[in-house]
Amino acid sequence: MTAKIIDGKAIAERIRAQIAQEVQQRVEAGLTRPGLATVLVGDNPASQIYVRMKHKACEQVGINSFGYELPADASQEEVEALVERLNADPAIHGILVQLPLPAGLDEEKVLGRIRLEKDVDGFHPLNIGRLAQKGREPLFVPCTPAGIMVLLEEAGVTLEGARAVVLGRSNIVGMPVSLLLLRRNATVTVCHSRTRDLPAVTREADVLIAAVGRAEMVRRDWVKPGAVVIDVGVNRVEDPTAKKGYRLVGDVAFDEVKDVASAITPVPGGVGPMTIAMLLKNTLRAAKLAD
């Protein structure tokens, strides 16, 4: 079997084009142009790149973006005061605090300060709490997990009653995607660094989500024939033949697993582009909530 490639790049592009069109229609109708504020504390190079990418993506769809930077030694009070200021600013519909925050800052407290209606990253404790409870609806869902769900839907995957295995239990990916799968009536197993005999567990999966951050850890014999595999991992591996001296690979050994899976996301070009598309979608929704 050769797996169908789930083309996240193309799906994300389509979503972005829809967003651009809607933003233009809003502005033409005299409504506010959506605005996203990013808060970057410190000088983590990866965070700087992610923030830059988000601003560029906003620009491409006509969303205003406002970048706020604080030094690595900013106090808890300073960070929270900035969030409060952005909460009160009517030109800003979404607030994204780039994680991780420097050591010493209370992340939960900062995220808890974001006005719920502006929590476009979906990490406000109340939004996450609602996600975990039956019958409650979060206002926003974290972007990477939301993007994964769109990919599964686009690939026509039946989740009701399916066995889903999630590798990883992080606040950002593993846990929220597990909760989303559960809400869609999958039977979910969440694995982590203390799970015994990982391959035996993953082989049970109809839907396998890999979000561990270990290059090509999921091998061919970890995957049940016909399973759908979503690879969230982004890992750098040395490659002297590449221009930059490295290349990006996922948590799944793509070349092996594509021969057993029924559908699979590539890295790059799978989950990554969806994360930003979902952020733009959430920002547009936040603007609509403020109308």
3-state class (DSSP) for residue 97: strand
* Contact status: 271 vs ligand NDP (CB under 6 A): yes
The active-site residue, picked from 119, 121, 231, 251, is: 121
Closest residue to bound ligand NDP by CB: 170
Q: Which is nearer to ligand NDP, 9 or 163 (CB)?
A: 9
User: What share of residues in the chain are helix, strand, coil (percent, to 5)?
Assistant: 40, 15, 40
Least distance in angstroms from the C-beta of 17 to ligand NDP: 20
* Contact status: 14 vs ligand NDP (CB under 6 A): no
* Contact status: 169 vs ligand NDP (CB under 6 A): yes
Contact 248, 46 (CB under 8 A): no
Both tokens of residue 102?
Answer: 């420097």
Q: Which is nearer to ligand NDP, 132 or 234 (CB)?
A: 234
Active site residue 281: no
Least distance in angstroms from the C-beta of 192 to ligand NDP: 4
Both tokens of residue 229?
Answer: 């595999």
Both tokens of residue 279?
Answer: 């952020």
Active site residue 9: no
Q: Which of 35, 180, 272, 281 binds ligand NDP (CB under 6 A)?
A: 272
* Contact status: 172 vs ligand NDP (CB under 6 A): yes
Count of residues that bind ligand NDP according to CB under 6 A: 25
Q: Which of 173, 257, 277, 278 binds ligand NDP (CB under 6 A)?
A: 173
Backbone angles phi, psi at 233, to 5 degrees: -60, 145
Contact 229, 252 (CB under 8 A): yes
Q: Which position has the token pair 């106090």?
A: 75
* Contact status: 38 vs ligand NDP (CB under 6 A): no
* Contact status: 110 vs ligand NDP (CB under 6 A): no
- Binders of ligand NDP among residues 193 to 252 (CB under 6 A) are 193-195, 198, 211-214, 232-235
Both tokens of residue 277?
Answer: 């598309």
Least distance in angstroms from the C-beta of 90 to ligand NDP: 30
- E strands present in the chain: 4-5, 35-41, 64-70, 94-97, 163-167, 187-191, 207-210, 228-231, 235-238, 246-249, 263-264
Return the active site residues.
Answer: 54, 98, 121
